[in-house]
Amino acid sequence: MIDTHCHLYMADYFPDPARVVDEAAQAGVHQMVVIGIDSETSRQAVELADRFPEVYATVGWHPTNAATYTSAELRVLEELVGHEKVVAVGEIGYDFYWDKATPEEQDVCFAEQYEFAMSVQKPLIFHCREAYAYQIERLERLPPHPFVFHCFAGDAAQAQWTFDRGGYIGVDGPITYPKSQDLRDLIQSAPRDRVLIETDAPFLSPQKFRGKTNQPAYVRFVNQMVSNLWDVHPDEGERILDGNARRFFGI
């Protein structure tokens, strides 16, 4: 299995990344993508990718940090993106849940990084929270480019827009929550070649581990739920979902 979205550089949660990587491998999770959210964490993600064969990295500037983003920060990402194990730009996008950056600040941060991803031919990892209509409207003004809506929380029409645009949706722990029936219904009918699984570790633990630190090893519970919804054996679900991840990231 491949955990397509985690944050192993968060030392308060993962003081020993080597142990986390080893436990993931023991659980059948042999590759993971560590996602940058600003210049420093992007650098840390690349350092982890250097340290562990199982780890890949992305570089990007999160929308909740957009108030402190400047074009100078993009130069740092440009320096990092050439690393052989950097597989995407992100996570970038829009967040209207937290009042940490204005829409205008997020617009600048998003647009510059979108253009950057196109220039370096890397797919995009989107963060979107309570901003799907706004972000889709912005995307419709831009040339199409490969992307995934990480931790998808939009509605069925927004999911269909994503598929029609050639995008992917990322699924993580919330699909196991009792109140997530709408999400389960959506994934059950989604094109199977347009779904990625992830943990967002240390956040969004599956139901069995609610209230505890999420781990890349726990992506197996997401695979199990998606496989159940598709009425396939978890081994077949893993084959499909791993293939999607390899195709999207080019790994």
Q: pTM for the whole thing?
A: 0.97
What per-residue confidence (pLDDT) applies to 191? 98
Q: Considering the chain, what is the average pLDDT of its residues?
A: 97
What per-residue confidence (pLDDT) applies to 94? 98
DSSP 48-71: HHHH-TTEEEEE---GGGGGG--H
What are 100's two structure tokens? 């940490």
Please name the residues in contact with 22: beta carbons below 8 A apart, sequence gap of 6 or more: none
Confidence of residue 206 (pLDDT cuts 50, 70, 90): very high
Listing from the earlier edge strand, what are the strands of the sheet with 147-149? 2-6, 31-34, 55-59, 86-95, 124-129, 147-149, 168-171, 195-197
Confidence of residue 67 (pLDDT cuts 50, 70, 90): very high
Please name the residues in contact with 164: beta carbons below 8 A apart, sequence gap of 6 or more: none
Q: How many angstroms separate the most distant Cα atoms in the chain? A: 49
pLDDT digits (tens, 9 = 90+) for 76-116: 999 999 999 999 999 999 999 999 999 999 999 999 999 99
Percentage, residues of the chain above pLDDT 70: 100
Q: Which helix (H) or strand (E) holds 195?
A: strand 195-197
What per-residue confidence (pLDDT) applies to 245? 98
What per-residue confidence (pLDDT) applies to 220? 98
Distance CA 1, CA 133 (A): 32
Phi, psi for residue 214 in degrees, rounded to 5: -75, 155
